[in-house]
Amino acid sequence: MPSIAITGSTGQLGRATVTHLLDRGVPAADLVALARTPAAADDLAARGVTVRAFDYDQPETLAPALDGVDRLLLVSGSEPGRRIPQHTAVIEAARTAGVGLLAYTSILNAETTRMQLAAEHQETERLIADSGLPAVLLRNGWYTENYTRTLDQTIEHGALVGAAASGRVGLAARDDYALAAAVVLAGEGHAGRAYELSGPAITLAELAATISTVAGREIPYRPLAPADYEQLLVGAGLPAPVAAIFADVDVQIDAGALEHDGDDLERLIGRPVTPVADTVRAALA
Ligand SMILES: NC(=O)c1ccc[n+]([C@@H]2O[C@H](COP(=O)([O-])OP(=O)(O)OC[C@H]3O[C@@H](n4cnc5c(N)ncnc54)[C@H](OP(=O)(O)O)[C@@H]3O)[C@@H](O)[C@H]2O)c1
């Protein structure tokens, strides 16, 4: 088996991807968990996975850490505004190290979306194309967990609040996207492909109805004007730029940015995506 490395392996998507690779029978000896904080990957090391330090902000250390790596999953950085220098450093290191396949977690509809959050993904896709590296784009839609993360507050508040009106958002569990990444990394024939990965698209009112059913109490969807939603988020303690990004997400949901007709995710993982109700149930458990 070629050697497979995963960045952000101590994060939720990266760790789940490593776990799926192991579950699918990829030998631990063929896996390299790249971590900003290697000690946080001790559990992976205990399973026989090689752990190496890999901080996107330390460009000179990256190519040596990719020594012997054939396939690399670049999990997009988690700090909007910092991702271009970070991703540039990783792509350059991959080239220097002679990586044979670079997989990147991009955003759904990257070719057309106007979402503010997408700009760095679009630029990263361009950088990857310019690098000449064989690559595969995993254009991930929204995690259902983006909504279930704050489910307690939603239920306490008695309503799901947002700024989208009747737009629909394709939702799948984070673990579905991780499994898709593992399938691509361990499989063949993915170089040059761009996968639009998403679950069935639903409105936020439909999401609220699912939450209501699972929670056993009525949690309606309460749409606000984008500016009011942004103010609400600032009032709840979010930094203003982050609140603006979240409001923009909902405006773009209404523009269709997070909805995609297609079954790339189901086909890659070989089963239906995790039902939204299951993720809601897990969050409430
Ligand atoms: N599609 C969606 O709905 C959605 C939602 C949220 C985020 N995302 C994107 O998808 C990515 C993965 O999601 P996730 O749920 O796994 O996020 P996460 O749990 O926050 O994990 C992010 C990972 O990136 C690593 N990282 C951040 N900055 C780094 C740096 N400078 N050098 C090396 N590693 C760095 C983190 O390292 P540490 O463990 O050391 O912190 C962590 O392992 C996110 O980073 C974000 O770009 C997508």
Q: Sorting pLDDT into bands at 50, 70 and 90, what band is 180?
A: very high
Q: What is the pLDDT of residue 2?
A: 72
161 in any annotated domain: no
CATH classification of the domain holding 48: 3.40.50.720
16 in any annotated domain: yes
Alpha carbons 30 and 79: distance in angstroms, whole number: 29
What is the torsion angle, in degrees rounded to the nearest 10, for the CA atoms of residue 176, residue 153, residue 113 and residue 111? -20
285 in any annotated domain: no
- CB 180, CB 195: distance < 8 Å: yes
Q: How many CB atoms lie within 10 A of CB 218?
A: 12
Q: What does the pLDDT average to over 141-170?
A: 96
> Which ligand 1 atom is nearest residue 174's CA?
15
241 in any annotated domain: no
56 in any annotated domain: yes
Q: What does the pLDDT average to over 178-189?
A: 98
Give the distance (Å) from ligand 1 centre to CA of residue 79.
8
Q: What is the pLDDT of residue 217?
A: 95
Q: How many CB atoms lie within 10 A of CB 194?
A: 16
C-alpha 257: how far from chain center = 15
Pocket around ligand 1 at a 6 A CB cut-off: 7-8, 10-14, 36-37, 40, 54-57, 75-78, 86, 105, 140, 142-143, 146, 174
Q: What does the pLDDT average to over 52-71?
A: 98
Q: What does the pLDDT average to over 22-46?
A: 97
| Rg, C-alpha atoms of the chain | 19
C-alpha 212: how far from chain center = 26
Q: What is the pLDDT of residue 202?
A: 97
70 in any annotated domain: yes
Q: How many CB atoms lie within 10 A of CB 130?
A: 9
Chain segment 252-285, per-residue pLDDT in tens: 999 999 999 899 999 999 999 999 999 999 999 9
Q: What does the pLDDT average to over 151-174?
A: 96
* Percentage with pLDDT > 70 across the chain: 100
187 in any annotated domain: yes
- What value does the mean pLDDT of the chain take? 97
Chain segment 96-136, per-residue pLDDT in tens: 999 999 999 999 999 999 999 999 999 999 999 999 999 99
C-alpha 151: how far from chain center = 19
* Percentage with pLDDT > 90 across the chain: 99
What is the full DSSP assignment across 98-150? T-SEEEEEEETTTTT---GGGHHHHHHHHHHHHHT--EEEEEE-EETHHHHTT
Q: Which residue among 78, 90, 108 is best mutated to probe the pocket of ligand 1, counting the most ligand atoms within 8 A of its Cβ?
A: 78
Domain that holds residue 79: 4-141+172-197+261-269
- Closest C-alpha to ligand 1, atom 31: 56
Number of domains in the chain: 1
**How many helices (H) and strands (E) would you count in the chain?**
13, 12
Q: Sorting pLDDT into bands at 50, 70 and 90, what band is 16?
A: very high
Q: What is the 3-state secondary structure (H, E, C) of 16-75?
A: HHHHHHHHCCCCHHHEEEEECCHHHHHHHHHCCCEEEECCCCCHHHHHHHCCCCCEEEEC
Tell me the CA distances in angstroms from 275 to 125, 144, 206, 208, 219, one per residue in order: 30, 9, 13, 14, 19
93 in any annotated domain: yes
Chain segment 204-252, per-residue pLDDT in tens: 999 999 999 999 999 999 999 999 999 999 999 999 999 999 999 999 9
